[in-house]
Amino acid sequence: MEDLIFYDRLQFAFTITFHYIFPQLTMGLSLMVVYFKWNYLRTNLEKYNDAAKFFMKIFAINFTMGVVTGIPMEFQFGTNWAKFSELTGSIIGQTLAMEGMFSFVLESSFLALFIFGEKLMGQRLHLLTGFLVFLGSWLSGWFILATNAWMQHPVGYEILDNGKFVLNNFSELFTNPWLLPAFLHNQFASVVTSAFVVASIGALYILRNKHVEHGKLFLKTGVIFGLISSIFVAFPTGDWNAKNVAKYQPAAFAAMEGIFETEEAGAEIVLIGQPDMVEKKLDNKIAVPNVLSFLTYQDWNQQIPGMDQFEEDVLPDNIPALYYAYHIMVGLGTIFIGVMVLAAFFLWKDKLYKMKPLLWTIMFLVPFPYIANITGWYTAELGRQPWLVYGLLRTSDGISPTVSAGNTLFTLLGFVGLYMLLGLLFLLLVGKTIYAGPKTQNH
């Protein structure tokens, strides 16, 4: 049974990790495409229209890959997690169906109109189609996050005698106190990824002395969006999320912060340390006293429960993975703020385009927003364990008992092979688009 649970979780973790490479770019990039197109209507400068169409091509490649890699996850609810679907389907099925019916249809329909309909519709309607693509992509995030928020902090439900969850208050799904902070944090994080992608392409063009005018536009836009979004990811949205975890999932909060023992007064914030699960302590710890209490409760002396205050069976089942995922996310987010503040300063001084070390740094950092986004999701999901529905339905009670561990491992290996091919195809298509450049777009 333990092998079956492990492989079910591993397969879903792999497929959703690979899948989320794509939506995190499309959600942020759709906003930037609307910005470029709006600026074209405002200034009538063709470079803005070139930028909008160029990045919508990259958006379309990402969107297609997101659809292809997202479909298997839907099927896994019925194959690997049949009991979970049976017990909670009447609730999570509603938000997932709304995501497909409303946001996916909206996004895909108007994406085609944006790419092929500019001359037919005119510029104002072309901007409207771009805005509707943006709206569809963000609505998709809203419905997915509503589903996850209910799993993290279940509201508006009742449990029948047969163990099934049913909804008794539909509006509570979308007024869940977990939802808005998680949604805003997720969306700003996706803008960070998109900003680094846009800025890095601009830096590449400047360094290669190719498409320089567009490169400067891309770099400037990416830095501005990156500065604003990276700050908002940390505060207020990241702070808001952390306070929610402390309030609704205190055991997860203690684990992700590395608090093994409750302090009498004021919890320290750990900058560096390695969890030792045998001795129940952090090795090689560097910490600042009382800061965590102040950040969480605005009280330097507020006590925060450590892991010693909870039963073993309610603590996250992989504390080191949760701890490291959280600290990787926070560490990278801090680096992003620093780099974007520095880039914005030199942009203000009109020196950024000649700062080759900084341009190379922006290009080098492109993979890291993806890592930060994925480790952020790992933090949320590892923190929820050992529950599928926090405090109500354990992960071990949601699997499909008729699907063997061998079958799951076999299909996982198939996914790994297939997704490697899809990843190579994606890199090839995006690479060709970037190499061709924005000047190849039709006016």
pLDDT tens digits, one per residue of 96-120: 999 988 888 899 889 999 999 999 9
**Ranges of the chain with pLDDT below 50:** 441-443
Structure tokens at 148: 């996850």
CA–CA distance, 443 with 440 (Å, rounded to integer): 9
pLDDT at 182: 98
Q: Three-class SS string for 217-283?
A: HHHHHHHHHHHHHHHHHHHHHHHHHHHHHHHHCHHHHHHHHCCCCCCCCCCCEEEEEEEECCCCEEE
Q: Rounded to 5 degrees, what are φ and ψ at 283? A: -85, 150
Cis peptide preceding 357, ω within 30 of 0: no
Which CA distances in Å does 365 have to 55, 91, 107, 279, 326?
Answer: 19, 39, 29, 36, 19
Give 173-198 as a DSSP string.
HHS-TTHHHHHHHHHHHHHHHHHHHH
Beta strand 165-167 pairing with 157-159: antiparallel
Q: Contact 107/137 with Cβ under 8 angstroms? A: yes
Q: Contact 24/370 with Cβ under 8 angstroms? A: yes
pLDDT at 438: 93
Bridge partners of residue 158, in order along the sequence: 166
Structure tokens at 87: 């017990």
Spatial CB neighbours of 238, under 8 Å, sequence gap ≥ 6: 185, 330, 333
Q: Rounded to 5 degrees, what are φ and ψ at 269? A: -105, 130
pLDDT at 401: 86
pLDDT at 442: 44
pLDDT at 265: 82
Read off the pLDDT of residues 223-247 as tens digits, 9 standing for 90 and up: 999 999 999 999 999 999 999 999 9
Structure tokens at 238: 């990241």
pLDDT at 270: 94
Cα Dmax for the chain: 69
